[in-house]
Amino acid sequence: KNNEMTNKRIGIIGAGPSGLAQIRAFEALEAKGYAMPEIVCFEKQDNWGGMWNYSWRTGVGKYGEPIHGSMYKYLWSNGPKECLEFSDYSFDEHFGKPISSYPPRPVLFDYIQGRIKKSKAREFIRFNTTARWVSYDEDSKKFTVVLDDLKINKTYSEEFDYLVVASGHFSTPNMPYFKGIENFPGTVMHAHDFRGADQFKGQNLLLIGSSYSAEDIGVQCYKHGAESVTLSYRSNPIGVEWPEGIKEVPLVTHFEDDTAFFKNGTQEKFDAVIMCTGYQHKFPFLPDEMRLKTKNNLYPDNLYKGIFFNELPQLIYLGMQDQYYTFNMFDAQAWVARDYMMGMLELPSENERRVDMDKWLERNDNLENGDDEVDFQTDYIKDLISMSDYPPFNLDEVARMFKEWLKDKEDNILTYRDKTFKSAVTGTMAAEHHTEWMDELDDSKERYLYEPEEEELIPEN
């Protein structure tokens, strides 16, 4: 079917969950008997998985490229796995048995790889290859992508009819300056370079920021033996009930040596400062007129359906939103993007697209709390699913689980990961993990999937 597509070329930048979703989307159509266009995916790391492909490195990599990874040891899913489950590849199918709702990073990495390991996805990916620069020719209607083969230190370029940018947006730190920090004697780092709590045992830590990174790194350092954790917020505190040893204070005004001063007039000495101040959407390979310019939010402006760059819809962005939903949202986007690239979905005019985006943007501006945000992203995904044949799943149920998760965190930030949820894809109830999260210091897949004998379990106190 659709033979004129076979001479189209599709370039994908990044083989993280978003780029892999795009490859999977084409493979799903091929399985239905459609002819595939030519697909080439460029990945600067030596393996797929994006953020989930853990790197011990910080700064620059083996070939001098900025390290992409921001993930760290002992990272456990910060939302229920039932909220990110692929609707075409369930956890049951992958693990063959129920697992708990909050698996550690290596387990989720294993899951992401499961469905594509069974296909020929790897053949489409050129690893150790950085996209260096992109240009677009109005006459030929083609993109030229300049690439660096890092291993052999060679630059070359290729042409594409469509370009999918799936390079992620939690990699380039937003690093603010606070007066006097240059004289702080201890470690000063951004969350991007945090690789685990071990080095902070026994220390008094200051974390600046009040979102996911501050919350998770703070709790992890507490769990793994930091002396104290202080979170400093700019706009709003996270506001949960913290255990003794973690507290929230207003923003730092300045530092004097190892002492931080806060807006409420208090001061305190610290051993280390971790900036959990978020990331920049950074596309050093894109010229100004093709670059998505946005802060981290649920509806970046100028992307029709959150995907198509409005002035040039052949330029496709995946996963650029702030994320409640992750893997299943990237899938829903990739399926819609695929249908457009295959000529199976026509887009309305540029003006009509503008009107549609404005409608979403206005709603986004009026969201008041976490529940509203969950509903917003749920409706966004429903809209995408109505446009393509990504297997529908019970999104209202997933939204309900997200809201329960928000409440669980408020109730107890240390135990919310012990809760279990029911899959909206298979109806399977998650298993309870053999060890409570606060007692589980080993995040390996082997330990996680291990089924201990009764007497090996840590007794509840």
Which residues form the interface with ligand NA7 (CB under 6 A)?
78, 170, 174, 176, 191, 208-214, 234-235, 251, 276-278, 296, 323
Residue 401 · residue 430 · CB < 8 Å? no
Judged by CB, which is closer to ligand NA7: 28, or 273? Answer: 273
Among ligand FAD, ligand NA7, none, what does residue 210 contact (CB within 5–8 Å per kind)?
ligand NA7
Query: Whole-number minimum distance, CB 179 to ligand NA7, in Å?
Result: 13
51 binds ligand FAD (CB under 6 A): yes
Choose between 156 and 362: whose C-beta lies nearer to ligand FAD: 156
Q: Which CB sits closer to ligand FAD, 25 or 260?
A: 25
Which range of residues in 16-24, 149-157, 246-254, 369-377 is near ligand FAD by CB under 6 A? Answer: 16-24
| H/E run at residue 279 | strand 279-280
In the list 104, 168, 209, 306, the residue contacting ligand FAD (rule: CB under 6 A) is 168
Separation between Cα atoms, residue 443 and residue 54, nearest integer Å: 13
26, 285, 309, 448: which one binds ligand FAD (CB under 6 A): 285
Pick 279 or 376: Cβ nearer ligand FAD: 279
Of residues 136 and 212, the one with the C-beta less far from ligand NA7: 212
With respect to ligand FAD, which residue has the nearer C-beta, 161 or 216?
216
Owner of token pair 């004289």: 183
- Say how far residue 275 (Cα) sits from the centre of its chain: 18
Q: E strand or H helix at 159, and its extent?
A: strand 154-160
| 319 lies in the binding site for ligand FAD (CB under 6 A) | yes
**Among the residue ranges 40-48, 267-275, 349-357, 448-456, the one whose residues contact ligand FAD (CB under 6 A):** 40-48
User: Cβ distance 105 to 21 under 8 Å?
Assistant: no
Q: Does 150 bind ligand FAD (CB under 6 A)?
A: no
CB atoms within 10 A of CB 429: 13
* Cross-strand bridge partners of residue 250: 233
* Buried b or exposed e, range 294-309, using 16+ CB within 10 angstroms: bebebbbebbbbbbbb
Residue 11 or 168 having the CB closest to ligand NA7: 168
One-letter amino acid at 435 equals T
Q: How far is the CB of 251 from ligand NA7 (least distance, A)?
A: 6
423 binds, among ligand FAD, ligand NA7, none (CB under 5 to 8 A by kind): none
The string of DSSP codes covering 106-150 is HHHHHHHHHHHHTTTGGGGEE-SEEEEEEEEETTTTEEEEEEEET
Could you give the CA distance from residue 317 to residue 164 in angstroms, rounded to a whole number?
Answer: 6
CA atoms within 13 A on the CB side of 313: 22
Q: Which does 168 bind (CB under 5 to 8 A by kind): ligand FAD, ligand NA7, none?
A: ligand FAD
Spell out, one character per residue from 322 to 341, where the chain touches ligand FAD: x when CB under 6 A holds, - when not.
Answer: -x--x---------------
User: Going residue by residue from 388 to 417, which x/- string records binding to ligand FAD, judged by CB under 6 A?
Assistant: ------------------------------
Which partner from the list ligand FAD, ligand NA7, none does 167 bind, CB cut-off 5 to 8 Å by kind?
A: ligand FAD
Check the CA dihedral 295-301-302-306 and report its sign. positive
User: Of 72 and 304, which has the nearer Cβ to ligand FAD?
Assistant: 72
Q: List binders of ligand FAD among 117-146 (CB under 6 A).
A: 130-131
CB 438 within 8 A of CB 414: yes
- Alpha-carbon distances, residue 110 vs 23, 83, 250 (angstroms): 17, 17, 39
Q: Is 17 in the site for ligand FAD (CB under 6 A)?
A: yes
Residue 281 partner contact from ligand FAD, ligand NA7, none using kind-dependent CB cut-offs of 5 to 8 Å = none
Q: Contact 68/52 with Cβ under 8 angstroms?
A: no
- With CA atoms as reference, report the closest residue to 97 among 459, 442, 433, 439: 433
**Would you give the DSSP letter of residue 50?**
G
Q: Are 419 and 408 in contact (CB under 8 A)?
A: yes
Return d(Cα 123, Cα 240) in angstroms, integer.
46
Write each residue from 63 to 102 as x if it is in contact with ligand FAD (CB under 6 A), else as -, in one continuous string: -----x-xx-----xxx----x------------------
Strand 172-173 and strand 259-262: the pairing is: unpaired
Please give the angle made by the CA atoms of 385, 388 and 389, to the nearest 5 degrees.
Answer: 95
Return the one option of ligand FAD, ligand NA7, none that residue 234 interacts with (CB less than 5 to 8 A, by type).
Answer: ligand NA7
Q: Which residues bind ligand FAD (CB under 6 A)?
A: 13-19, 42-45, 50-52, 68, 70-71, 77-79, 84, 130-131, 166-168, 170-171, 285, 319, 323, 326
